[in-house]
Structure 1
Amino acid sequence: MATQASDIKNKLQEIYPEIAQYGVGLQIDYNSEKKAWEATFEKDGNTLSTHLEDTDVDNCLLGKKCYNFGIQLGQFIRNYCEGGEACKL
């Protein structure tokens, strides 16, 4: 069975509760030119995209942390959520 964007998104939201905690939008799409999945974070007009290689996706779906995704998510939260009005709970 082929990997679906919704499966990746659901698993990432499960592994990284910060996505819901800070109200960060997450879109997952397959980029056929780069032959990789692309995750895009969004909060109040601010966006950041990162690529998920097949090994990252496989690890994520197995319930392991996705190293590159986690780094990018952390950077996005630091830049647009922590200490800023946009992500106050």
Structure 2
Amino acid sequence: MDKNELCQKIEQIYPDIGQCGIDIRVSFDDDNDRWRVHLKKDNKSLDTFLEPGDAELCMEGRQCVSLGIEISQLKDNIGQ
């Protein structure tokens, strides 16, 4: 899995992220050995981290609970 695949999966789950003006960036944080998901809207931005195992389960279509909860919370907070 690479950052583009994970980013596309997030956009698939939340297709309104790009459409409602929220930019998303995904990168692997080598220092923390986790995926960093960065959301930005206007002058607000938020980061969250996903464990590699959680991201892999989601990419395999088996479980996206952790990813869904994190992205939903970020989206709700950034949209305020």
Above 0.5 in TM-score? yes
Q: Distance in 1 between matches of 2:32 and 2:47?
A: 13
Per the alignment, residue 13 of structure 2 pairs with 15
Which ranges in structure 2 are unaligned for 5 or more consecutive residues? none
Could you tell me which of 31, 36, 39 is aligned with 1:38? 36
Which segment drifts farther, 12-21 or 72-81? 72-81
Q: Distance in 2 between matches of 1:65 and 1:15?
A: 12
Change (3 A) 1:4 1:45: same
Per the alignment, residue 73 of structure 1 pairs with 71
Deviation at 1:80, TM superposition (A): 3.2
Task: Write out the 4+ residue segments of structure 1 that deviate beyond 4 Å after TM superposition.
Answer: none
Which ranges in structure 1 are unaligned for 5 or more consecutive residues? 85-89
Partner letter of residue 60 of structure 1? C
Q: Percent identity?
A: 28
Matches of residues 37-56 of structure 1 in structure 2 within 5 Å? 37-56=35-54
Q: Structure 1-normalised TM-score?
A: 0.73
What SS does the aligned partner of 2:21 have? coil
Larger Rg: 1
